[in-house]
Amino acid sequence: YRPQIVLRPSNSFPSDTSSKAVTCLSASLSIISPLMAEFVSVFVTLFVFNHLDTELAVMHTASLNRSSILALTHAVCFAVFASAFKTVHLSPAVTLTHLLTGSTSQLFCLLIVPTQFLAGFLAVIANVNLRSASSLPPPPSLKHDLSIPWTNAAYQLIISQMIGSFLICSSHVSSFGVRREDDNHNGFILSRFRISALLNPAVPLFLATAIASFLSLIQSSVPCCPLQAFSLCAYRFVDNFADHSFTSHHIYWIGPIVGSLLACAICKFLLSPKYFMDRN
Amino acid sequence: YRPQIVLRPSNSFPSDTSSKAVTCLSASLSIISPLMAEFVSVFVTLFVFNHLDTELAVMHTASLNRSSILALTHAVCFAVFASAFKTVHLSPAVTLTHLLTGSTSQLFCLLIVPTQFLAGFLAVIANVNLRSASSLPPPPSLKHDLSIPWTNAAYQLIISQMIGSFLICSSHVSSFGVRREDDNHNGFILSRFRISALLNPAVPLFLATAIASFLSLIQSSVPCCPLQAFSLCAYRFVDNFADHSFTSHHIYWIGPIVGSLLACAICKFLLSPKYFMDRN
Amino acid sequence: YRPQIVLRPSNSFPSDTSSKAVTCLSASLSIISPLMAEFVSVFVTLFVFNHLDTELAVMHTASLNRSSILALTHAVCFAVFASAFKTVHLSPAVTLTHLLTGSTSQLFCLLIVPTQFLAGFLAVIANVNLRSASSLPPPPSLKHDLSIPWTNAAYQLIISQMIGSFLICSSHVSSFGVRREDDNHNGFILSRFRISALLNPAVPLFLATAIASFLSLIQSSVPCCPLQAFSLCAYRFVDNFADHSFTSHHIYWIGPIVGSLLACAICKFLLSPKYFMDRN
Amino acid sequence: YRPQIVLRPSNSFPSDTSSKAVTCLSASLSIISPLMAEFVSVFVTLFVFNHLDTELAVMHTASLNRSSILALTHAVCFAVFASAFKTVHLSPAVTLTHLLTGSTSQLFCLLIVPTQFLAGFLAVIANVNLRSASSLPPPPSLKHDLSIPWTNAAYQLIISQMIGSFLICSSHVSSFGVRREDDNHNGFILSRFRISALLNPAVPLFLATAIASFLSLIQSSVPCCPLQAFSLCAYRFVDNFADHSFTSHHIYWIGPIVGSLLACAICKFLLSPKYFMDRN
Ligand SMILES: [Ca+2]
Ligand SMILES: [Ca+2]
Ligand SMILES: [Ca+2]
Ligand SMILES: [Ca+2]
């Protein structure tokens, strides 16, 4: 039920000194790791609770319903496709996590990201054509009262997306892995194109995506996946090169990327060495 | 935990050339398959998000609540029966998927579809008799503002149901399989009546059905299963042969069937050969 | 992951005739069982959909919210306790199913039912004492418009509870089983006190209980468990022997019991012999 | 799929008398345990149902929506972090359960609790700095009508949190365990720092946390985790030493701690000896 972690054959006769050092390091890591995990978990849980408590106080029911349904829909798609196709990432931030933890090969990551951009762009084109009035799609926007400055709202969105992306990428690290049979395959091409697959139920991924997209949707019009914001901007830019949609587009990318880096750093370097040291 | 895929014994001494060709094909498929899966996943996810974003902007809370609860109820029934009885399909579109992927034998599929129609028809009769006023059930209908033409609304329903059916059928392909013990059974009758059973938890099926039925119910009065529309029309037709319910009945069938064909094509021919090529 | 079904050692040298008859019966059952399962599943799914469609049209949002939350709460308690304690039934109708399918011994069932009644009665006493104003709890009641007669509303409740109880009991039959190690235990007392335990995840049980309680709560003030109605009536009767709460109390019992009997009949005698014939 | 329970090697040649006594005790426990589990389950289920039935009658929709979303968010964080990091407790009451059932070593528990307090305090600081107006966070408060006295509302909160904490801690006891490989590790340091890890899916933990936090949030402004109340009070106290937030702070601690003690007592001493006696 747990991911089958691929073990590299370690060198069989280590010198006594290095072996003792490794044991000592391993021992201190097995104490520090759970404490670090506890710290991160409690901090994020209470931060999200306090943050939502403040935000929900000023939201209307209609807006709340809409954000909830869109977030659940996004999470359902993530979970259903991960369960059906096993290898999908669905966000450049997730691909970054798989690249840095080494679970998916670099060549594959370089191919997956353009595929994501292309699919996102075509989805916006399809939507515009399906809609009755063939108007331009609205650009991604922040939801902010006029009482608070724009930079403050952007800052809130980045923090929210960072936490959401951290949750999604942590779920990916703990649920995805390289299948044992794939690893034994000794073809040159296949070793170059290693890709991690979902080995566990997708329930934690569903829950993490739901909360991440909800956090993003109560601050803005886009979910916790920069592809949506990019596709809308790209469509508007292609339609009219004078369109200013890409101005301040970076605020939709900082949060997901920093969250992904944090998930790699914490899950790879700080967590229990028993489960993670062999993955390097 | 993963479906136990039935492997056919391959011929033991293939010629060198064919072996090399198969390896080469397998290698290129193992590169193309994940990219294709990524493309389909991102496209559908962002298409559904954009589509719902547009639709929810004009829906009332009462209508939204009703659609949500009906969609969840439909999904709960699908998941509970799949978990309890293991072999149920519950929709002709799903039976089509099982027929085309070869997981359920043709004879069985020919028996299952009439059973579904009969059960759906009897369900409508039972409902009419339970209701206090024994009025006719309303015919299936599209929810459309008068601002957009009827054909446009029908087109939106067909696209929505196509995507929903694709999600449900993909979940079936990845969650259902032929049990190993059934396959070894060498009786003539049993080999003719092979039926696939649920081998994994029903959570992805629940999520896929929920989103599919919700997408269908915000566009029309029926869920993403053509049996409901057919049963209502059939009851009205039997009650009064002059009833015009079956006019434009096809709009409730095109989406589910095309979605089912798409799921077969993508899951069977394009996805990772390691998991799917042995199933032919 | 699937329940470990306890196999009785069959007699090793059956006569040729009986063996052939069993094979023939087994073959026809393996054809009829999936068709019967399909029929029941489609019938119940579409019946519930049509029924809810009619009911939701006349419900208010506040009432809908309340029924949803109470139903979810009831289902969460069922799922959490089944996961934590493994052997709990939580309703006399479920105990009846376990008694008839033989998964729990008769002596145990006779002890479990009084325990349930006692716990339910004490829960009502505790609630009355916790409440600020120590007023009598309201008796169980039907929600019915004055436009339809009382008998019609009672009939709708019985049908709704019957379907709900059928779903819950079917989930129990497919998720619970006798652990292998318990069966090998050859103590006299232990064989007399065999009890089935949850062997699968509780997700289908959660979903079935949620829909069953929701169906019951939109027709009445009690969930799909006769203990709640009984406890309220018993408290009122003890408080004032002239209270008429027990008049027409039977309408809260017919549905759950008939649904339980149906689940036993269908799951034990009609479903796939491979999974059920060995359980007798 | 079930937790791999670590068995201690029992002494191989017990005297006849003690063996018979153990068998007899084991036999009576295997009868009493399921009955006790049934009693507790039915009592809590119907108590929670009746309690919510009374409470929901006087709640507004906006308040209900807010409590639901905050409770679900809290539960999602609990489930995602437990799935991703495996060893996290997230509440001092849960740490108390792990300490008393012996699944986590005393030294580790002494380190985990200060980590939780520190993380909670820093989360409140981070939230205050993110908020646009850098005002003080509101202190934890009871939601009570003026019609009922304050002590009555506090009593209701304590009972609600006690039940919620009992559900969460029971889920922890049944889902967490010591990994077999960890136990065989014979290092001195590692044996001192044994920590239990999540061995089962986190679904029951998610459901239990959701209902526990919902029960707490309809009575007060904090979820079923005393860290939130403590952190708010600590921040206000540090900001202004004359602040009276810590007055009556104990009402947020009694419920979780008593619920945790109850979960230990019931799960460890009363439940089926087959699953629990070997864990001492
Ligand atoms: Ca804001
Ligand atoms: Ca529309
Ligand atoms: Ca009614
Ligand atoms: Ca209250």
Question: What is the pLDDT, as a whole number, of residue D115?
Answer: 96
Question: What is the pLDDT, as a whole number, of residue A45?
Answer: 96
- Report how far ligand 3's centroid is from the alpha carbon of C213 (Å): 15
Ligand nearest to the CA of B144: 2
Question: What's the pLDDT tens digit per position in A42-98?
Answer: 999 999 999 999 889 888 888 899 999 999 999 999 999 999 988 899 999 999 999
Distance from CA of C102 to the nearest CA of B (A): 18
Strands (E), D54-205: 176-177, 197-198
Residues 250-279 of D with CB under 8 A from C: 267, 271-272, 274-275
User: Under an 8 A CB cutoff, do B30 and A74 touch?
Assistant: no
Q: Where does the pLDDT of residue B278 fall: very low under 50, low under 70, confident under 90, or very high at 90 and above?
A: very low
Question: What's the pLDDT tens digit per position in C51-73?
Answer: 999 889 888 888 899 999 999 99
Q: Which of C81, C124, C225 to mutate to test the interface with D (most CBs of D within 10 A)?
A: C81
B1 SS3 class: coil
Which of D39, D49, D170 lies at the smallest CB-CB distance from C223?
D49
pLDDT exceeds 80 at position B177: yes
Which of A41, A56, A272 lies at the smallest CB-CB distance from D66?
A56
The pTM of the full predicted model, rounded to 2 decimals, is 0.89
pLDDT, mean over chain A: 83
Which of A4-13, C132-141, D97-106 ranks highest by mean pLDDT? D97-106
User: Under an 8 A CB cutoff, do C50 and B124 touch?
Assistant: yes
User: Under an 8 A CB cutoff, do D30 and C132 touch?
Assistant: no
**Chain C residues touching residue B228 (CB < 8 angstroms):** 46, 49-50
Question: What is the pLDDT, as a whole number, of residue A270?
Answer: 66
CB B163 within 8 A of CB B55: no
Which of D85, D182, D187 lies at the smallest CB-CB distance from A271?
D85
DSSP string covering C54-83? HHHTT--HHHHHHHHHHHHHHHHHHHHHHH
Distance from CA of B16 to the nearest CA of C (A): 41
pLDDT exceeds 60 at position D149: yes
Which of B48, B156, B204 lies at the smallest CB-CB distance from A79?
B204
Question: What is the pLDDT, as a whole number, of residue B169?
Answer: 95
Residue whose C-alpha is closest to residue B216's, from B263, B158, B167, B259? B158
Ligand nearest to the CA of B59: 2
Tokens of A90: 């669905």
Q: Where does the pLDDT of residue D154 fall: very low under 50, low under 70, confident under 90, or very high at 90 and above?
A: very high
- Report how far ligand 4's centroid is from the alpha carbon of C217 (Å): 22
Residue whose C-alpha is closest to residue D83's, from C171, C168, A211, B163? A211
| Distance from C-alpha of A204 to C-alpha of A175, rounded to nearest angstrom | 8
Residues 183-222 of D with CB under 8 A from C: 201, 203-204, 207-208, 210-211, 214
A208 SS3 class: helix
Q: Where does the pLDDT of residue C181 fall: very low under 50, low under 70, confident under 90, or very high at 90 and above?
A: low
Which of A39, A152, A156 lies at the smallest CB-CB distance from D115?
A39
CB B274 within 8 A of CB B27: no
Q: Which residues lie below 8 Å from residue B259, measured CB to CB, with a gap of 6+?
A: B93, B161, B162, B163, B164, B165, B166, B167, B168, B169
Q: Which residues lie below 8 Å from residue D3, measured CB to CB, with a gap of 6+?
A: D174, D175, D176, D177, D199, D200
**Chain B residues touching residue C209 (CB < 8 angstroms):** none
Mean pLDDT of D248-276: 82
DSSP letter (8 states) at residue C220: B
Tell me what ipTM this predicted complex has: 0.89
Q: Is C136 on the interface with D (CB under 8 A)?
A: no
